[in-house]
Amino acid sequence: MSVTPTAAPVTNTSGTPTIPPGSPLLLLGARSDAATERGVVCPGDLPAADDPELAARARRARAALGSDVVILGHHYQRDQVIEFADSRGDSFALSQFAADADAPYIIFCGVHFMAESAAILGRDDQRVILPDLAAGCSMADMAEISQLRDAWARLERAGVAEHTSPLTYMNSTAAIKAFCGERGGAICTSSNAPRAMEWGFEQVEGSRLPGKVLFLPDQHLGRNTAVLGLGLDLEDCVVYDPWQPDGGLTDQQLRDARVILWKGHCSVHARFMPAMVDEIRRERPAVEVMVHPECRYEVVSKADRVGSTSQLITWVEQAEPGATIAVATELNLVKRLADEHPDKDIVFLDDTVCFCATMNRIDLPHLTWVLEALVEGEVVNEVTVGDDVRHYSRLALDRMLALPGDARSLART
């Protein structure tokens, strides 16, 4: 078995690593193949994350870098990482922090599409670092730019493209954001999706056919937003499946629809099922159920509250001591909320463990590695976005940031 830790990654045309013929089979956790596992391993002999010396090394490197670095951390990050965040937030807040950041280096503790957004919103001379380049997002991977081009051609064939506003969730690649920006569309996050969808409809008002929004990649957030946020009917929504011929929809279905939902989902939030809400209510009749809008419509419909990551945190903070709260979102955050509020009974809605595997790729060894490399003057794991894509994705992001507040959030109380 030959392992070549220094070999350059082999990538396909979209930059995704491909597996070269004859690649070694490696035992999970024991060594790695840099040709197929880009960004997975930090070189050197970093100790395990729970080694107190490692945290001390990270703190020393952080202190040495001073104001040259800002560390941004998403709420779903591990405790060992979030401890180092200068600012923590949901994806909307983090995009604002990135746009306002002064430091020449932004270390983004989150997933790839978030780091890309920081690179788009940051200044030309700022460098964005993702401690592990393998920290992707399964939902973002469900929409490829070539599939979106095909989908748009499909809408053109059905005669509906000119009546359609493309709206993509932040959880998508920069290329998809740019596609939307170039066609007059925008971006949303879970904290402003209803306002953004309303804005999308405003852009195609007065169309001959009913104005439409193409919402991608999360069908659940799109459906929850359309039905629970804007008061449309479930029948107003159709699901476009990029893996089916013609997206699995007839021309007539496309013409009648108000919202065309991309068939994508979050592998973490889609695990929560309506029966789990019934079960927890049986077990704990006083429970308040709070869910993220990436959960299925059937789950959200049964919940007491639905809100973005930041809204969930605020509601937990505001709850009375003694309150029993079941939360349906990523487990790192729910565990942290439970630890921070011992006076409240905070439980995870699912019985089984459900971390976001890709968010968890960012760990203390990777963070220490990128910090120490920066101290040595080396930028590792930089995330960059090409000029063309940057221009139009920035347009779409700026449209989102210009939307008034989050007064039209999906928050339901």
Closer by beta carbon to ligand SF4, 160 or else 268: 268
- Taking CB within 5 to 8 Å according to partner kind, which of ligand 13P, ligand SF4, none is near residue 267? ligand SF4
**Please, what is the angle between helix 364-375 and helix 52-65, to 10°?**
40
Closer by beta carbon to ligand SF4, 266 or else 395: 266
CB of 297 to ligand SF4, least distance (A): 17
DSSP, res 67: G
Under rule CB under 6 A, which residues in 311-330 are in contact with ligand SF4?
330
The structure tokens 């604002």 sit at: 96
The answer to whether 189 contacts ligand 13P (rule: CB under 6 A) is yes
CB of 162 to ligand 13P, least distance (A): 30
- Calculate the alpha carbon distances from 184 to 21, 115, 214 in Å: 43, 23, 12
The percent of the chain in helix, strand and coil, each rounded to the nearest 5, is 40, 15, 45
CB of 81 to ligand 13P, least distance (A): 15
The answer to whether 356 contacts ligand SF4 (rule: CB under 6 A) is yes
- Taking CB within 5 to 8 Å according to partner kind, which of ligand SF4, ligand 13P, none is near residue 308? ligand 13P
172, 309, 368, 393: which one binds ligand 13P (CB under 6 A): 309
Which residue, 97, 236, 212, is CA-closest to 152? 212
The answer to whether 173 contacts ligand 13P (rule: CB under 6 A) is no
The answer to whether 332 contacts ligand 13P (rule: CB under 6 A) is no
The answer to whether 77 contacts ligand 13P (rule: CB under 6 A) is no
- Taking CB within 5 to 8 Å according to partner kind, which of ligand 13P, ligand SF4, none is near residue 23? none
Q: Tell me how crowded residue 26 is: count the other CB atoms within 10 A of its CB.
A: 14
CA distance 254 to 239: 10
Which residue, 257, 267, 332, 322, is CA-closest to 296? 267
Q: Tell me how crowded residue 278 is: count the other CB atoms within 10 A of its CB.
A: 11
> Which stretches of the chain bind ligand SF4, using CB under 6 A?
111, 137-139, 171, 266-268, 330, 356, 358-359
